[in-house]
Amino acid sequence: MNFFKLNRQLSNSASQLDPLDGLRGFAALLVVVSHASIKGMFPVPAVDLRGLGRPGVYLFFLLSAFLLTLALLRKSSSLLSAPVMINYWLRRFLRIYPLYILYLLFAVVCTKYVDPSKPIIFDLDVDGFMNHLLLQEGKDVTWSIAVEFKFYFVLPVLTLLFSAISSRSMKALVGSVAVVLVALQLFNSQIRAFSEDTGLSQYMTFFVLGMLLAVVQFRMGEQFAQKENANKLMRVLGYLGLAGIVIMTPVVYSKFGAHVHRTHFHNQHLLYGVCWSAVLMAAVNVPGGIQKFFSMPVLRFYGALSFGVYLFHPVFVSLAITLGIGLKLGFWFVLASSTICALVAFKTLEQPLSKIGVGRTNPPVS
Protein backbone atom coordinates (compact mmCIF):
# COMPACT_ATOMS: atom_id res chain seq x y z
CA MET A 1 0.00 0.00 0.00
CA ASN A 2 3.01 2.34 0.39
CA PHE A 3 2.98 2.75 -3.38
CA PHE A 4 -0.20 4.77 -3.09
CA LYS A 5 1.13 7.21 -0.49
CA LEU A 6 1.95 10.62 -1.94
CA ASN A 7 3.00 13.65 0.04
CA ARG A 8 0.48 16.05 -1.42
CA GLN A 9 1.12 19.15 0.72
CA LEU A 10 -1.77 20.71 -1.13
CA SER A 11 -3.96 21.43 1.89
CA ASN A 12 -3.34 22.82 5.31
CA SER A 13 -3.14 20.05 7.89
CA ALA A 14 -6.51 20.87 9.45
CA SER A 15 -8.26 20.39 6.11
CA GLN A 16 -6.34 17.25 5.13
CA LEU A 17 -8.99 14.55 5.43
CA ASP A 18 -8.47 11.14 3.82
CA PRO A 19 -12.09 10.71 2.65
CA LEU A 20 -11.99 14.06 0.84
CA ASP A 21 -8.81 13.06 -0.98
CA GLY A 22 -10.57 9.83 -1.89
CA LEU A 23 -13.63 11.69 -3.12
CA ARG A 24 -11.43 13.80 -5.36
CA GLY A 25 -9.81 10.67 -6.75
CA PHE A 26 -13.21 9.08 -7.26
CA ALA A 27 -14.36 12.17 -9.18
CA ALA A 28 -11.34 11.96 -11.49
CA LEU A 29 -11.95 8.28 -12.15
CA LEU A 30 -15.62 8.96 -12.95
CA VAL A 31 -14.53 11.38 -15.67
CA VAL A 32 -12.00 8.95 -17.13
CA VAL A 33 -14.34 5.96 -17.18
CA SER A 34 -17.13 8.04 -18.72
CA HIS A 35 -15.04 9.50 -21.53
CA ALA A 36 -13.52 6.10 -22.30
CA SER A 37 -16.98 4.52 -22.34
CA ILE A 38 -18.18 7.08 -24.88
CA LYS A 39 -15.59 5.62 -27.26
CA GLY A 40 -16.62 2.04 -26.46
CA MET A 41 -13.71 1.37 -24.10
CA PHE A 42 -15.29 -0.11 -20.97
CA PRO A 43 -13.46 -1.11 -17.76
CA VAL A 44 -15.50 -4.31 -17.80
CA PRO A 45 -17.06 -5.66 -21.02
CA ALA A 46 -20.55 -4.28 -21.69
CA VAL A 47 -20.46 -2.05 -18.57
CA ASP A 48 -21.25 1.28 -20.21
CA LEU A 49 -20.60 4.14 -17.78
CA ARG A 50 -20.94 7.07 -20.16
CA GLY A 51 -22.70 10.04 -18.63
CA LEU A 52 -20.74 9.97 -15.36
CA GLY A 53 -18.15 12.51 -16.42
CA ARG A 54 -20.29 15.56 -15.73
CA PRO A 55 -21.33 14.34 -12.24
CA GLY A 56 -17.63 13.79 -11.55
CA VAL A 57 -16.91 17.42 -12.42
CA TYR A 58 -19.84 18.52 -10.24
CA LEU A 59 -18.21 16.66 -7.35
CA PHE A 60 -14.94 18.48 -8.07
CA PHE A 61 -16.76 21.82 -7.82
CA LEU A 62 -18.46 20.88 -4.55
CA LEU A 63 -15.22 19.61 -3.00
CA SER A 64 -13.27 22.68 -4.07
CA ALA A 65 -15.80 25.04 -2.51
CA PHE A 66 -15.95 22.96 0.68
CA LEU A 67 -12.20 22.69 1.21
CA LEU A 68 -11.30 26.25 0.30
CA THR A 69 -14.12 27.75 2.35
CA LEU A 70 -13.28 25.60 5.35
CA ALA A 71 -9.65 26.73 5.19
CA LEU A 72 -10.58 30.39 4.78
CA LEU A 73 -13.04 30.26 7.67
CA ARG A 74 -10.15 29.36 9.95
CA LYS A 75 -8.63 32.70 8.98
CA SER A 76 -11.83 34.72 8.99
CA SER A 77 -10.44 37.33 11.40
CA SER A 78 -7.65 38.17 8.95
CA LEU A 79 -9.16 36.84 5.74
CA LEU A 80 -8.60 39.95 3.61
CA SER A 81 -5.18 40.75 5.07
CA ALA A 82 -2.28 40.99 2.64
CA PRO A 83 -0.44 37.79 3.78
CA VAL A 84 -3.57 35.62 3.56
CA MET A 85 -4.66 37.00 0.19
CA ILE A 86 -1.16 36.83 -1.30
CA ASN A 87 -0.85 33.21 -0.26
CA TYR A 88 -4.36 32.44 -1.43
CA TRP A 89 -3.75 33.76 -4.93
CA LEU A 90 -0.22 32.44 -5.16
CA ARG A 91 -1.34 28.95 -4.28
CA ARG A 92 -4.41 29.10 -6.51
CA PHE A 93 -2.25 30.17 -9.44
CA LEU A 94 0.46 27.59 -8.80
CA ARG A 95 -2.09 24.83 -8.34
CA ILE A 96 -3.66 25.39 -11.76
CA TYR A 97 -1.65 27.46 -14.21
CA PRO A 98 1.83 25.86 -14.57
CA LEU A 99 0.50 22.45 -15.60
CA TYR A 100 -2.40 24.06 -17.47
CA ILE A 101 -0.04 26.21 -19.54
CA LEU A 102 2.07 23.18 -20.49
CA TYR A 103 -1.08 21.32 -21.51
CA LEU A 104 -2.24 24.22 -23.68
CA LEU A 105 1.19 24.59 -25.28
CA PHE A 106 1.06 20.88 -26.11
CA ALA A 107 -2.30 21.48 -27.80
CA VAL A 108 -0.84 24.38 -29.84
CA VAL A 109 2.12 22.26 -30.98
CA CYS A 110 -0.10 19.30 -31.88
CA THR A 111 -2.45 21.56 -33.83
CA LYS A 112 0.47 22.81 -35.93
CA TYR A 113 2.42 19.61 -36.49
CA VAL A 114 0.13 16.57 -36.05
CA ASP A 115 -1.93 15.15 -38.91
CA PRO A 116 -5.44 16.62 -38.39
CA SER A 117 -6.96 13.32 -39.56
CA LYS A 118 -5.40 11.68 -36.49
CA PRO A 119 -5.88 14.27 -33.74
CA ILE A 120 -4.27 13.77 -30.34
CA ILE A 121 -5.84 16.74 -28.64
CA PHE A 122 -8.23 19.57 -29.49
CA ASP A 123 -7.23 22.22 -32.04
CA LEU A 124 -5.76 25.34 -30.45
CA ASP A 125 -4.15 28.35 -32.11
CA VAL A 126 -2.35 31.25 -30.44
CA ASP A 127 -5.54 33.29 -30.04
CA GLY A 128 -7.27 30.28 -28.48
CA PHE A 129 -4.28 29.81 -26.18
CA MET A 130 -4.64 33.35 -24.87
CA ASN A 131 -8.41 33.00 -24.53
CA HIS A 132 -7.88 29.90 -22.41
CA LEU A 133 -5.38 31.68 -20.17
CA LEU A 134 -7.84 34.54 -19.72
CA LEU A 135 -10.64 32.09 -18.87
CA GLN A 136 -12.70 33.16 -21.87
CA GLU A 137 -12.68 29.83 -23.67
CA GLY A 138 -12.69 26.14 -22.85
CA LYS A 139 -12.36 23.12 -25.08
CA ASP A 140 -12.79 19.47 -24.18
CA VAL A 141 -12.06 19.18 -20.42
CA THR A 142 -10.66 22.71 -20.01
CA TRP A 143 -14.08 24.36 -19.63
CA SER A 144 -14.23 23.33 -15.98
CA ILE A 145 -10.85 24.89 -15.22
CA ALA A 146 -12.14 28.27 -16.38
CA VAL A 147 -15.31 27.84 -14.32
CA GLU A 148 -13.45 26.92 -11.15
CA PHE A 149 -10.85 29.65 -11.44
CA LYS A 150 -13.58 32.25 -11.87
CA PHE A 151 -15.05 31.00 -8.62
CA TYR A 152 -11.78 31.75 -6.85
CA PHE A 153 -12.35 35.46 -7.48
CA VAL A 154 -15.63 35.56 -5.56
CA LEU A 155 -14.81 32.99 -2.88
CA PRO A 156 -13.12 35.26 -0.27
CA VAL A 157 -15.95 37.80 -0.30
CA LEU A 158 -18.62 35.10 -0.19
CA THR A 159 -16.78 33.42 2.68
CA LEU A 160 -16.89 36.65 4.69
CA LEU A 161 -20.60 36.97 3.94
CA PHE A 162 -21.36 33.36 4.88
CA SER A 163 -19.31 33.71 8.06
CA ALA A 164 -21.03 36.94 9.09
CA ILE A 165 -24.52 35.51 8.60
CA SER A 166 -23.74 32.20 10.30
CA SER A 167 -22.20 33.95 13.32
CA ARG A 168 -25.58 35.55 13.94
CA SER A 169 -27.79 32.60 13.02
CA MET A 170 -27.20 29.31 11.23
CA LYS A 171 -30.89 29.20 10.41
CA ALA A 172 -30.57 32.55 8.66
CA LEU A 173 -27.67 31.24 6.59
CA VAL A 174 -29.52 28.06 5.61
CA GLY A 175 -32.60 30.09 4.70
CA SER A 176 -30.55 32.54 2.65
CA VAL A 177 -28.79 29.73 0.80
CA ALA A 178 -32.14 28.06 0.09
CA VAL A 179 -33.42 31.27 -1.50
CA VAL A 180 -30.23 31.59 -3.56
CA LEU A 181 -30.49 27.99 -4.75
CA VAL A 182 -34.10 28.46 -5.84
CA ALA A 183 -33.11 31.63 -7.69
CA LEU A 184 -30.25 29.82 -9.41
CA GLN A 185 -32.56 27.04 -10.60
CA LEU A 186 -35.01 29.60 -12.01
CA PHE A 187 -32.24 31.67 -13.61
CA ASN A 188 -30.57 28.65 -15.19
CA SER A 189 -33.74 26.75 -16.13
CA GLN A 190 -33.38 27.66 -19.81
CA ILE A 191 -29.65 27.06 -19.99
CA ARG A 192 -28.34 23.82 -21.33
CA ALA A 193 -24.99 22.71 -19.90
CA PHE A 194 -22.63 22.29 -22.83
CA SER A 195 -19.14 20.87 -22.40
CA GLU A 196 -17.38 24.06 -23.54
CA ASP A 197 -19.45 26.59 -21.60
CA THR A 198 -17.17 28.50 -19.19
CA GLY A 199 -19.87 30.59 -17.49
CA LEU A 200 -19.78 30.51 -13.70
CA SER A 201 -23.39 31.35 -12.86
CA GLN A 202 -24.97 28.10 -14.04
CA TYR A 203 -22.62 26.04 -11.85
CA MET A 204 -22.92 28.20 -8.72
CA THR A 205 -25.33 25.65 -7.22
CA PHE A 206 -22.39 23.34 -6.46
CA PHE A 207 -20.13 26.08 -5.16
CA VAL A 208 -22.84 27.55 -2.91
CA LEU A 209 -23.69 24.12 -1.50
CA GLY A 210 -20.02 23.38 -0.91
CA MET A 211 -19.62 26.65 0.96
CA LEU A 212 -22.69 25.98 3.08
CA LEU A 213 -21.39 22.53 4.02
CA ALA A 214 -18.05 24.08 4.99
CA VAL A 215 -19.74 26.58 7.31
CA VAL A 216 -21.86 23.83 8.87
CA GLN A 217 -18.75 21.69 9.34
CA PHE A 218 -16.80 24.62 10.80
CA ARG A 219 -19.53 25.61 13.24
CA MET A 220 -20.89 22.20 14.18
CA GLY A 221 -18.29 19.59 13.21
CA GLU A 222 -17.33 18.69 16.77
CA GLN A 223 -20.96 18.29 17.74
CA PHE A 224 -21.58 15.70 15.03
CA ALA A 225 -19.19 13.26 16.71
CA GLN A 226 -21.06 13.62 20.00
CA LYS A 227 -24.59 13.18 18.66
CA GLU A 228 -25.51 9.64 17.76
CA ASN A 229 -28.77 10.67 16.09
CA ALA A 230 -26.94 13.15 13.84
CA ASN A 231 -24.52 10.39 12.84
CA LYS A 232 -27.31 7.98 12.03
CA LEU A 233 -29.10 10.60 9.95
CA MET A 234 -25.96 11.51 8.00
CA ARG A 235 -25.19 7.85 7.41
CA VAL A 236 -28.66 7.25 5.96
CA LEU A 237 -28.50 10.42 3.87
CA GLY A 238 -25.05 9.45 2.62
CA TYR A 239 -26.29 6.12 1.32
CA LEU A 240 -29.36 7.78 -0.18
CA GLY A 241 -27.06 10.25 -1.92
CA LEU A 242 -24.99 7.42 -3.38
CA ALA A 243 -28.17 5.67 -4.48
CA GLY A 244 -29.31 8.84 -6.21
CA ILE A 245 -26.03 9.11 -8.14
CA VAL A 246 -26.27 5.46 -9.19
CA ILE A 247 -29.90 5.81 -10.30
CA MET A 248 -29.03 8.85 -12.42
CA THR A 249 -26.36 6.87 -14.24
CA PRO A 250 -27.92 6.51 -17.72
CA VAL A 251 -27.20 2.80 -18.08
CA VAL A 252 -28.85 2.11 -14.71
CA TYR A 253 -31.83 4.40 -15.23
CA SER A 254 -32.45 2.90 -18.67
CA LYS A 255 -32.77 -0.56 -17.11
CA PHE A 256 -35.87 0.52 -15.21
CA GLY A 257 -37.42 3.07 -17.56
CA ALA A 258 -37.18 4.49 -21.03
CA HIS A 259 -33.74 4.64 -22.59
CA VAL A 260 -32.11 8.02 -21.94
CA HIS A 261 -29.19 9.84 -23.56
CA ARG A 262 -25.96 10.10 -21.59
CA THR A 263 -26.59 13.83 -21.04
CA HIS A 264 -30.15 13.32 -19.79
CA PHE A 265 -29.45 14.25 -16.16
CA HIS A 266 -26.65 16.75 -16.72
CA ASN A 267 -28.89 19.73 -16.01
CA GLN A 268 -30.10 18.34 -12.69
CA HIS A 269 -27.67 20.52 -10.76
CA LEU A 270 -29.62 20.79 -7.54
CA LEU A 271 -30.33 17.06 -7.42
CA TYR A 272 -26.69 16.17 -8.05
CA GLY A 273 -25.59 18.84 -5.59
CA VAL A 274 -27.80 17.49 -2.82
CA CYS A 275 -26.75 13.88 -3.46
CA TRP A 276 -23.03 14.68 -3.47
CA SER A 277 -23.47 16.90 -0.40
CA ALA A 278 -24.98 13.99 1.53
CA VAL A 279 -22.11 11.72 0.47
CA LEU A 280 -19.49 14.32 1.40
CA MET A 281 -20.85 14.96 4.89
CA ALA A 282 -21.17 11.24 5.59
CA ALA A 283 -17.61 10.64 4.37
CA VAL A 284 -16.22 13.39 6.61
CA ASN A 285 -18.22 12.81 9.78
CA VAL A 286 -19.55 9.26 10.00
CA PRO A 287 -17.32 6.22 10.60
CA GLY A 288 -18.57 3.38 8.47
CA GLY A 289 -18.79 2.08 4.94
CA ILE A 290 -18.80 5.40 3.06
CA GLN A 291 -15.89 6.82 5.03
CA LYS A 292 -13.87 3.61 4.67
CA PHE A 293 -14.53 3.41 0.93
CA PHE A 294 -13.41 6.95 0.18
CA SER A 295 -10.41 6.58 2.51
CA MET A 296 -9.00 3.70 0.45
CA PRO A 297 -5.34 4.34 -0.45
CA VAL A 298 -5.94 3.87 -4.17
CA LEU A 299 -8.62 6.57 -4.23
CA ARG A 300 -6.48 8.93 -2.16
CA PHE A 301 -3.63 8.25 -4.58
CA TYR A 302 -5.80 9.34 -7.48
CA GLY A 303 -6.96 12.27 -5.39
CA ALA A 304 -3.38 13.55 -5.30
CA LEU A 305 -3.05 13.01 -9.06
CA SER A 306 -6.56 14.16 -9.93
CA PHE A 307 -5.66 17.32 -11.84
CA GLY A 308 -3.11 15.58 -14.03
CA VAL A 309 -5.34 12.57 -14.66
CA TYR A 310 -8.22 14.89 -15.54
CA LEU A 311 -6.11 16.87 -18.00
CA PHE A 312 -4.20 14.05 -19.67
CA HIS A 313 -6.77 11.29 -20.10
CA PRO A 314 -8.43 12.72 -23.29
CA VAL A 315 -5.01 12.57 -25.00
CA PHE A 316 -4.75 8.86 -24.32
CA VAL A 317 -8.35 8.22 -25.32
CA SER A 318 -7.43 9.69 -28.71
CA LEU A 319 -4.15 7.75 -28.85
CA ALA A 320 -5.92 4.49 -28.05
CA ILE A 321 -8.18 5.04 -31.05
CA THR A 322 -5.33 6.18 -33.34
CA LEU A 323 -3.10 3.24 -32.36
CA GLY A 324 -5.94 0.78 -32.82
CA ILE A 325 -5.76 -0.58 -29.29
CA GLY A 326 -8.56 -3.08 -28.77
CA LEU A 327 -11.66 -1.96 -26.95
CA LYS A 328 -11.12 -4.56 -24.23
CA LEU A 329 -7.73 -3.04 -23.35
CA GLY A 330 -8.53 0.55 -24.28
CA PHE A 331 -9.75 1.75 -20.90
CA TRP A 332 -6.82 0.22 -19.04
CA PHE A 333 -4.38 1.77 -21.52
CA VAL A 334 -6.00 5.17 -20.94
CA LEU A 335 -5.98 4.80 -17.17
CA ALA A 336 -2.40 3.50 -16.95
CA SER A 337 -0.98 6.12 -19.35
CA SER A 338 -2.86 8.97 -17.67
CA THR A 339 -1.69 7.80 -14.26
CA ILE A 340 1.96 7.69 -15.33
CA CYS A 341 1.84 11.15 -16.89
CA ALA A 342 -0.01 12.59 -13.90
CA LEU A 343 2.50 11.03 -11.50
CA VAL A 344 5.43 12.52 -13.41
CA ALA A 345 3.72 15.92 -13.45
CA PHE A 346 2.98 15.65 -9.73
CA LYS A 347 6.54 14.75 -8.77
CA THR A 348 8.28 17.26 -11.05
CA LEU A 349 5.87 20.19 -11.00
CA GLU A 350 2.83 20.06 -8.71
CA GLN A 351 4.49 18.80 -5.55
CA PRO A 352 7.51 21.16 -5.64
CA LEU A 353 5.27 24.16 -6.38
CA SER A 354 2.89 23.20 -3.56
CA LYS A 355 5.62 24.02 -1.04
CA ILE A 356 5.80 27.66 -2.10
CA GLY A 357 4.18 30.20 0.20
CA VAL A 358 4.74 33.65 1.64
CA GLY A 359 5.56 34.26 5.29
CA ARG A 360 4.34 31.90 7.98
CA THR A 361 0.76 31.71 6.78
CA ASN A 362 -0.44 28.22 5.99
CA PRO A 363 -2.49 29.02 2.89
CA PRO A 364 -5.72 27.27 2.01
CA VAL A 365 -5.67 25.01 -1.01
CA SER A 366 -7.76 22.18 -2.36
Task: Give the Cα separation of 187 and 170 in Å (integer).
Answer: 25
Cβ atoms of residues 145 and 152 within 8 Å: no
Looking at residue 358, its pLDDT comes to 67
Looking at residue 116, its pLDDT comes to 85
Task: Give the Cα separation of 222 and 279 in Å (integer).
Answer: 18
- Find the mean pLDDT for residues 222-233: 79
Would you state the torsion angle of the CA atoms of residues 305, 57, 10, 219, taken in this order, to the nearest 10 degrees?
Answer: -140
- Find the mean pLDDT for residues 167-190: 90
Task: Give the Cα separation of 214 and 222 in Å (integer).
Answer: 13
- Find the mean pLDDT for residues 27-36: 97
Task: Give the Cα separation of 71 and 218 in Å (integer).
Answer: 9
Task: Give the Cα separation of 3 and 6 in Å (integer).
Answer: 8
**Is pLDDT of 172 > 90?**
yes
- Find the mean pLDDT for residues 258-271: 91
pLDDT in tens, 246-259: 999 999 998 887 88
**Is pLDDT of 193 > 70?**
no
* CA proximity to 71, closest of 218, 177, 205: 218
- Find the mean pLDDT for residues 64-90: 91
Least confident of 159-168, 221-230, 319-328, 340-349: 221-230
Higher pLDDT, 101 or 11: 101
When mean pLDDT is compared over 10-14, 116-120, 234-238, the highest value belongs to 234-238
Specify the DSSP class assigned to residue 359. Answer: T
**Is pLDDT of 63 > 70?**
yes
Looking at residue 5, its pLDDT comes to 67
Looking at residue 11, its pLDDT comes to 42
Looking at residue 363, its pLDDT comes to 42
The residues, ordered by sequence, that sit 6+ positions from 112 with a Cβ below 8 Å of its Cβ are: none
Cβ atoms of residues 34 and 49 within 8 Å: yes
- Find the mean pLDDT for residues 154-160: 96
**Is pLDDT of 3 > 60?**
no
**Is pLDDT of 46 > 50?**
yes
